[in-house]
Amino acid sequence: MNFDTRDWESMKAMMEECKSNPSKYQMPFFGVNEDDEAVKVEVYEDRIVLYTTQKNDWIRQNIYWYDGTVEELYDGSLVRAKQEDNGVFCPCCGQYVPISKRK
């Protein structure tokens, strides 16, 4: 899945699809962003929540509301992300997320 926060129309379409077919987005999506940071995306009918485990060990939470409102929140405490051979530990999901090998 390619999730682009600059593509507002696609994000609205995902929320509308969630409203008509809630089971499609029942589980969150996990991945790595362009900065090799672990991310989790949750889709609801009125908002999309993007959790990012930043390289400075903070968890950033961006909330994109259907009406166009955008919020940016932080966990408020440092997280202890561990770098391992199998990826970055994401405290949002409790799993290791692979890091892409960029050239």
* Residue tagged 């089971």 (tokens): 23
- The candidate with the shortest Cα–Cα distance to 3, out of 29, 24, 27, 36, is 29
pLDDT digits (tens, 9 = 90+) for 47-103: 999 999 888 778 899 999 999 999 999 875 444 444 445 566 665 566 666 655 433
pTM, two decimal places: 0.73
